[in-house]
Amino acid sequence: MQTRRHEGRRDQRIVDVRGRSAGRFAGLLIAALACVGLWCACGSDARLAGKKLRAPTVRTVSYYGVTLDQSASPQQVAFVALQAIREDVAAKSSADREAALDKEFDLAAVNAIAAKNKTSLPQDQFLHKVVYHWAPTVAHYVNDFPTQWDAAAGRLVREDAKPGKSAEKADSECQVALRVSDPSGDPNAGAVVQIWMALDAGYWRVTHLGFDATRRGLIKTPSASAGPTSASGD
C-alpha cells in the first residue's frame, strides 16, 4: 500500500516537473519569437507604417513655370521648393498635401541626403523623415514667400560655401537665403530662411532648410546668373 502511495507521489512529481518544463519551454519560445520580431523590425520606424514612402531620382522637373534642369540656378530651385512648401502648408486635404510633397521630394538632393544617413533606417524612410520636416520648419513664414519668379529673383540670395571648406565642397555646396517678415508685422520678428543646396547628379537640389540665427538681414545681392529658365511648368 505504502509502495503504491510512493509511486503515486513520484508519478505526480514527474507530471509537475514535465508541466513546469513545458511551461518554461513555451515561455522561452515566446521570448525568442519576440526577439526575432524586434530584430526584423530594427532599422525601421514603426511610425512610418502606412505612410507613402517615395524613392525619387534626381532628374529634370518643371514646376511653377520653371524648368529645373542641370542649368538651373540654386535660386530657381529654392524658389520652386518654397512654392511647394507653401502649397504643403496651405493644403486643405491629404491629397493636396501629398501632391505638394511629391514636388518637394522631386527637389531633394536624394543622393547627398542618403550619404548623410548614419542611422539604421532604410534610405526611403530616412529621406521621408528629412523632407517631411521641411514644411513644419519654415511654416510660420510661408505667407511671405515670393510667389512669382520675377519677385523671387530679387530676394533670393546665393551664398557660397563658407571659407575653409574643401575646394570640392565649395564647388558643390551653397546656401540660398531669403529675408522674411513675421506675419504679425513685428519688425523685430523677421528672420532669414536658409536653404542648403548640393549638386546632385549635376543638378542643384535641396538638402535641408532652417534659419540663420546670427542675422536678420541680407548683405549680398543676387547674382546676375539667377535668371529664369523657360518652361511650361505645372
Smallest Cα–Cα separation from 61: which of 110, 108, 128, 106? 106
Q: How confident is the model at residue 35 (pLDDT cuts 50, 70, 90)?
A: very low
Task: Report long-range pairs for 116-121 (Cβ below 8 Å, ≥24 apart).
Answer: 116/207, 120/42, 120/43, 121/43, 121/44, 121/45
Smallest Cα–Cα separation from 129: which of 116, 140, 142, 139? 116
The residue behind cell 536678420 is 216
Higher pLDDT, residue 119 or 150? 150
Q: How confident is the model at residue 227 (pLDDT cuts 50, 70, 90)?
A: low
pLDDT of residue 188: 82
Cell numbers placing 138: 519654415
* Chain centre distance of CA 12: 63
Least confident stretch, 24-33, 67-76, 186-195: 24-33
Higher pLDDT, residue 66 or 218? 66
- Judge whether residue 69 has pLDDT over 50: yes
- Judge whether residue 34 has pLDDT over 50: no
pLDDT of residue 81: 98
Q: Tens digits of per-residue pLDDT, 140-191?
A: 999 999 999 999 999 999 998 666 666 667 689 999 999 999 998 888 888 9
CATH 3.10.450, domain 76-223, yes or no: yes
pLDDT of residue 20: 53
Higher pLDDT, residue 227 or 191? 191
* Chain centre distance of CA 233: 24
pLDDT of residue 119: 85
**CB neighbour burial string for 43-65, b if at least 16 within 10 angstroms, e if fewer:** eebeebeeeeebebebeebbbbe
pLDDT of residue 28: 44
Return mean pLDDT, the chain. 79
User: E-assigned strands of the chain?
Assistant: 61-63, 66-68, 157-160, 173-180, 191-200, 203-211
Task: Tell me the CA distances in angstroms from 200 to 38, 63, 94, one per residue in order.
Answer: 35, 19, 30
